[in-house]
Amino acid sequence: MPDNMEMVRAALARVAEIRDQLARADAMWREIEDSIIPADIREKLETAREGWEAETAPMREALAAAEREAKDLAEDLLLTSGPATVRAAGLMLVASFRVSWDGKMLQRIASEHPDVMRAQKVKPYISIRKETSK
């Protein structure tokens, strides 16, 4: 019977396989799209897109800066209020505070006062990341 880590590796390999299948499906669609849209039309669309991006770049940059400024202001204001959730215009801004402790110090204290460990709660955090080659 495979050990737990082997099963985790197998499940992770399955995730990678599914992501590859999705990427291949997207690539197939791009090939279909390329076969349907004549080259001259694709060139016109690309030229129009580049022109649109160049024309609207200053506006998009200004909007991005204004968004960052408004977001920073909202976050600063909310942080001074304490934990809260604020809703407006279909968005939610949530402020919660995590308390962290010096684990090594708590272990030393717990060695003398074992009842301290009853307060310990361990919540796993798991993420899937693309492996980077070194």
Indicate the domain borders of the chain.
4-99
CA atoms in the 13 A half-sphere facing the CB of 47: 6
Instruction: Please give the Cα distance from 6 to 20 (Å, whole number).
Output: 21
The pLDDT-based confidence of 134 (bands split at 50, 70, 90) is low
Model-level pTM? 0.52
Mean pLDDT of 71-99: 83
The pLDDT-based confidence of 25 (bands split at 50, 70, 90) is very high
Residue 48 tokens read as 């129009």
How remote is the C-alpha of 118 from its chain's centroid?
33
Instruction: Please give the Cα distance from 124 to 119 (Å, whole number).
Output: 16
